[in-house]
Amino acid sequence: MRCSFIIVLAAAITLSAVPAAAAKPKRCFSVPEIAAEREIRHGIYLREAALRCNGLYTKGSYEMWQKFESANGPKFKTANDKRKKAWQREFPDDWQHKINHADGRLVTYARNLPRTQGFCDNIEEMLQEVTQRGYGGFSAQAKMLQNEVIADYKVCQ
């Protein structure tokens, strides 16, 4: 009797610790998830480019990015949370590996673009634009510049 009570108690504790069942994969990303993916990717790209251009071609580009990122931290967190949830749903077994691969691909791309005065001038213009227009301007910029997201992921209809 006492042994069965312990087994029932252990089972109850184990079952209460099991997270709710994960959502089934949709095999597509919703429009808000696509927007979040674009924003995070564009942020990674601008961060890397600002860091590469900082000092040599553009004075203070990385600081400009950091200031923008700090000012919009909650919005970036919301976008990142939405993105993470979509990846977890679509790739339940290895979402972390897949998201790291996608981010790494973008960082590698950004780091291998030729660093020229023209490239850095363009990055500085983008940073100035998002500084002036805020997160809405950043989101619009991300939509315009990072359209490969819809080539990578099907948009839910």
Q: Is residue 33 over pLDDT 80?
A: yes
- pLDDT, tens digit, for every residue of 35-67? 999 999 999 999 999 999 999 899 999 999 999
Query: How many angstroms separate the CA atoms of 101 and 95, rounded?
Result: 10
State the DSSP string of 35-69: HHHHHHHHHHHHHHHHHHHBTTTBTTHHHHHHHHH
- pLDDT, tens digit, for every residue of 97-129? 999 988 888 888 888 889 999 999 999 999 999
- Whole-structure pTM value: 0.81
What is the total residue count of the chain? Answer: 157
The reported pLDDT for the residue numbered 146 is 58
